């Protein structure tokens, strides 16, 4: 029988094969371009002294984040823009087509890849890791698609529980082996540079808040709680276990150099602060609307989302 992980993997694939970001939920880049502008400032700090840096985005959505980053580099960082290459790793054919359309003006600058490529620069993602499927376990048993609890399907699950020292029997633990596989691949493909992961998640210190697990679905901006009963294609996600990313990162040669909430990360960017100031002084209806979207980013996403920056250890 299929495990919950198999079910989640199929749901994600089916959902992204025929959707556009914004229909069922908004991501920060879809909310406002100030997110991409802020991320660009941070990226610039990390790559400005590299000769031919590359940016590799995992899961490009509608292409908005790539558009905002490339536009910011072109206008604000002309010293590095001519030497920059941008890669997008995307599995959904329909989103890939949207991205190609959106990024037409950056032809020759952006490349789509089916496998990670080796780069000097930064591999980064926003709301990518939360799409990767999780094994759900409780008290030595794993959740299957019919809602029953059966044998653990992959020996690496037990190794993970031991490694992370998770012993509570009355607690659901979600194990994202695919996240660890991606993390390892990221480290292997970073010749030199950094990994930035932006997503909602928790650490081992606050895992007790999620005794029933964190998997939820989204459909038309509504929460789907009982995901095993939902029939229509819907977005399904699990919060990211940042402690696992930090711990396994160390094993794979990625040293965590920064971990903070999204609000602090955004407010540490000149571009974001300038946008905030300019919009708060303006009376134009469009600017007033944008200001409210920036506040949403800072207030409702600001604490829930975290930013983790890891540096590839030099070999
Ligand atoms: C929630 S969306 C985020 C999109 C974009 N980063 C944003 O913030 O708007 C997740 C993205 O990851 C892609 N994706 C999900 N699972 C993937 C996988 N296993 N391999 C490659 N892309 C994947 C989806 O197709 C989609 O583009």
Residue 285 in this model has a pLDDT that exceeds 70: yes
**What is the torsion angle, in degrees rounded to the nearest 10, for the CA atoms of residue 161, residue 162, residue 167 and residue 169?**
50
Using the mean position of ligand 1's atoms as its centre, give its distance from the Cα of residue 292 in Å.
Answer: 26
- Residues 120 and 53 sit within 8 Å (Cβ to Cβ): yes
Once rounded to an integer, what is the mean pLDDT over residues 190-202?
Answer: 98
The residue to mutate among 55, 61, 63, having the most atoms of ligand 1 within 8 angstroms of its beta carbon, is 61
59 in ligand 1 pocket by Cβ < 6 Å?
yes
Once rounded to an integer, what is the mean pLDDT over residues 292-303?
Answer: 95
Residue 2 in this model has a pLDDT that exceeds 80: yes
Using the mean position of ligand 1's atoms as its centre, give its distance from the Cα of residue 61 in Å.
Answer: 6
Output the residue whose Cα is nearest ligand 1's atom 24. Answer: 59
CA distance 274 to 277: 5
Residue 288 in this model has a pLDDT that exceeds 90: yes
Once rounded to an integer, what is the mean pLDDT over residues 279-305?
Answer: 96
CA distance 35 to 32: 6
pLDDT tens by residue, 145-188: 999 999 999 999 999 999 999 988 889 999 999 999 999 999 99
CA distance 103 to 209: 41
Residue 12 in this model has a pLDDT that exceeds 90: yes
CATH classification code of 4-312 = 3.40.50.12710
Q: Work out the mean pLDDT of the chain and round it to a whole number.
A: 95
CA distance 254 to 186: 9
By the 10 Å C-beta count (0-12 exposed, 13-18 middle, 19+ buried), 292 is classed as exposed
Residue 198's alpha-carbon distances to 45, 163, 208, 263, 303, in angstroms, are 17, 24, 22, 12, 12
Using the mean position of ligand 1's atoms as its centre, give its distance from the Cα of residue 12 in Å.
Answer: 9
* Comparison of pLDDT for 159 and 15, the residue scoring more: 159
CA distance 126 to 166: 27
Predicted TM-score (pTM) above 0.85: yes
Using the mean position of ligand 1's atoms as its centre, give its distance from the Cα of residue 32 in Å.
Answer: 18
Using the mean position of ligand 1's atoms as its centre, give its distance from the Cα of residue 170 in Å.
Answer: 32
Q: Which of 56, 30, 84, 23 is nearest to 312 (CA)?
A: 56
Residue 136's region, left for phi above 0, alpha for psi from -120 to 50, else beta, is: beta
pLDDT tens by residue, 222-279: 888 788 988 777 889 999 999 999 999 999 999 999 999 999 999 999 999 999 999 9
270, two tokens: 């000149």
* Closest-lying ligand 1 atom to the alpha carbon of residue 57: 6
In the chain, pLDDT over 70 holds for what percent of residues? 99
- Residues 137 and 143 sit within 8 Å (Cβ to Cβ): yes
Among 10-24, 152-166, 277-291, the least confident range: 10-24
Residue 192 in this model has a pLDDT that exceeds 90: yes
- Residues 122 and 56 sit within 8 Å (Cβ to Cβ): yes
Among 14-18, 19-23, 214-218, 300-304, the least confident range: 19-23
CA distance 87 to 111: 5
43, two tokens: 């990226």
pLDDT in the model for residue 315: 66
60 in ligand 1 pocket by Cβ < 6 Å?
yes
Residue 9 in this model has a pLDDT that exceeds 70: yes
Split at pLDDT 50, 70, 90, the class of 25 is confident
pLDDT in the model for residue 314: 78
Q: Which of 40, 37, 34 is nearest to 53 (CA)?
A: 40
29 in ligand 1 pocket by Cβ < 6 Å?
yes
Residue environment code for 193-212, b if the CB has 16+ CB neighbours within 10 A, otherwise e:
bbbbbbbbbbeeeebeebee
In the chain, pLDDT over 90 holds for what percent of residues? 88
């Amino acid at each position: 029988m299929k495990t919950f992980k198999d079910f989640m993997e199929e749901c994600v694939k089916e959902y992204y094969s025929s959707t556009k970001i914004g229909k069922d939920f908004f991501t920060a880049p879809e909310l406002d371009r100030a997110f991409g502008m802020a991320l660009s400032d941070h990226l610039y700090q990390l790559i400005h002294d590299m000769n031919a840096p590359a940016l590799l985005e995992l899961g490009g959505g509608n292409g908005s984040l790539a558009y905002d980053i490339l536009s910011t580099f072109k206008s604000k960082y002309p010293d590095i823009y001519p030497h920059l290459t941008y890669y997008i790793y995307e599995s959904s054919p329909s989103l890939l087509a949207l991205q190609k359309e959106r990024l037409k003006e950056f032809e020759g600058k952006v490349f789509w890849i089916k496998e990670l490529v080796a780069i000097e620069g930064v591999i980064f993602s926003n709301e990518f890791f939360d799409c990767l499927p999780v094994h759900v376990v409780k008290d030595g048993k794993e959740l299957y698609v019919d809602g029953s609890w059966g044998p653990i399907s992959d020996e690496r699950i037990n190794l993970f529980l031991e490694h992370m020292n998770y012993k509570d029997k009355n607690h659901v633990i979600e194990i994202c082996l695919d996240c660890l596989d991606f993390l390892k691949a990221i480290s292997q493909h970073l010749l030199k540079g950094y990994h930035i992961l932006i997503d909602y998640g928790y650490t081992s210190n606050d895992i007790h808040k999620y005794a029933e697990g964190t998997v939820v679905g989204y459909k038309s901006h509504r929460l789907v709680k009982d995901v095993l009963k939902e029939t229509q294609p819907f977005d399904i996600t699990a919060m990211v276990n940042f402690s696992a990313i930090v711990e396994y990162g160390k094993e794979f040669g990625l040293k965590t150099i920064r971990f903070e909430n999204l609000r602090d990360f955004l407010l540490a960017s000149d571009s974001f602060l300038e946008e905030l100031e300019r919009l708060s002084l303006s009376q134009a209806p469009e600017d007033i609307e944008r200001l409210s979207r920036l506040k949403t980013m800072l207030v409702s996403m600001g604490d829930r989302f975290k930013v983790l920056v890891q540096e590839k250890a030099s070999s």
